[in-house]
Structure 1
Amino acid sequence: MAHPLSFEAFSDALGSLYQGPLENVPWASFLNLLNHTLQSKYVTFILRPPSSHVDGLMVNTNGTSAEATASYNKHFYALDPFVDLPNRQVVCNTEFIPLAEWTASEFYKNFLEPVGVLHILGADIRTSDGAQCRIRISRGPEQPSFTQADKDLLALFVPHLERAVQLHIRLNRIESERNLYAGAVDQMAVGTIILDEEGKVLQTNQVAERLLQDKDGLKRVDDGLQVGNARDNQEFRRLVKQALLSQKSSNPSVVEALRVQRPSGRADLGIIVRSVPLSAWNEGKQCPAVAIFISDPEQQSSAPQEIVRALFDFTPAETQLAMLLANGLTLDEASEELGISRNTARAHLRSTFSKTGVTRQTMLVRLILRSVATLG
């Protein structure tokens, strides 16, 4: 039988529940705490029930067999009779299904009995934004069945678990959108660096990280940034300071540009500095304050040839030529790279003009670089 929770213990449990969406394995701490409190064998939280179309997404307490989880996902979910419980209500398996019918079921004989489970306490949660979650607490045949006190204790957590799931969904949506946009910027070969309210590097994308590793006109120094020569760096620091002041005073976003020389003699970097507008309820440290966008003229377009070919209905040969031109080669250099004559290259070029409706090589290059192909 579960022991009543003190106010402090209940508060700690709620804290771990709401911390759940931020954990590497969501709700792992809360589930293990619940497992200990209810003196159960396993606790499983199913964030997404398995189906014939998709594997389930579930979190288990320590000691749960990975093989059992996999077999449930692949096969036994379809045999599970303890599903579709009344929304937000805590139910014991023997209230839902008679014990004799339960122990005679294929699900019990082939799945639960081999892992030493007889008693299950559960609740289903169906949220307003479409999530269908299940929490299942298991005990073995040598343990007592769940009591009303156990049910009441789990019922205390169910509404909080629903709210935490909604927070988890919202955070996941934001993270997915962020990753999508970050990936698009990477594909466009634009470096991005986010600075916090003290001007320290908070985040970089892949393109910016490569530029920082090269230390050619852009490098990290004591968590800050240093660019170009002394004059370039002085101007950069002024622009960052101005952007920070603009953000703190809630002025309209400041956008400034800077050209930075590289010690290697390679083409100058182009840098945009802009303040990041604060949200209405923004508070706390290490928040995005300044965004740095960097363009490297020598960075080649990474547009996939298959996408360029599909967008413009080019032949494979026309696609190869167009991509080389987009990456800065002249027609003669491109024909040499492809191992074809200049006349053949010109014929391919005329064909691309006809298909795209442009009349000059520079217009073709601009069309490709400004198309959605770079996001592929």
Structure 2
Amino acid sequence: MGLSIELLERRCHDAATGAYAWDALLRDIGEWVGGSKGMMLGNGIVGPLRHSLDWNHDPEALALYNSHYNRFDPRARYSRLTPLHGAQLGQAYVRNESIAQTEYFEAINLGGDVKDSVHGIIANDAELGRRSLSIQRGFKEEFFNEREADRLAVILPTLERAMKDSIRVARSVAGHMSGDGYCYVVVDRARRAIFADSSTDDPFAEQGPLSLTGDLLASGNQSVDRAIEQAIDTALYERPVSLHLAGVKMEFGRVPQALAWLAHDDHCFLAIVAQQKQAETSARLFATAHDFSAREGDILAILLAEDDLRLAARQCGLSYETVRWHLKNMQTKCGVSRREAMLSAARKGRIG
């Protein structure tokens, strides 16, 4: 089957759910536009453009771009003027002859065999940041023309929707949800964040001692920071792992396939959950499943965070005897005889 816009749109949807590889989708789009190589680019938490996904590129040239030459990309500042879902020819930004004598042109264009490009803006908002797609050709090929820029522009809105959908899929894979008290971060082994997803303007407003200083995830304690780095390594090379820190639970895992457009396999997907919010969510779902009253739901939420029944009664504003009476009623509804069994089931999300 030949490539068509309808097929590309279906593959964008599949990539968002992890059913189709993002690098294969980049290749498909590149071939449909008429290029022979390409890359997705984005701004991290701080700093210049960096490539996050590539097709048919020399890995050494890409490493040079991400580690150094992206700061001196002569077309970057002009590309910022391109509107959302717009596409522009690389030669319209800066012609090759005007930079032919520069170190950048020698290292990136000549070294990476990149003669020309067509550049499209996928997204430019708080959720995704500024994300773009560059389809390129080598020196043995012809320059791009306006028809090919128009062709790239057609797929950009669909690509943006797929990338936003992939974030929601990644939340689901992590076993959590969006909302206050939840934050998702993609970090490398040195704790540098390239992406943070939160429902608030400050993703770390409710995350206890954790903060982002520039793009660095930090706790203010060197020992804790080392433990976070070890957890990242464990998640990347062994298995998923969790850490608990001052009312915050951190769950480390590999970046889901749905987010492969965002990071390579040397990055970790980190779900940060305020444990009070996690308890509230568990309580709400469990209480609904067992037809608890509003008062019983409140009692359950407090007990999930506070095992001492007398302290829990004080937090509820009820007497110890009243809380015990409610507990017996709740246990009857759940079909269990022990409080510990009910709380364990609520924490694990067992509702059947």
TM-score scaled by structure 2?
0.48
Structure with the greater alpha carbon radius of gyration: 1
Q: Which has the higher contact order (CA 8 A, sep 6+)?
A: 2
TM-score scaled by structure 1?
0.45
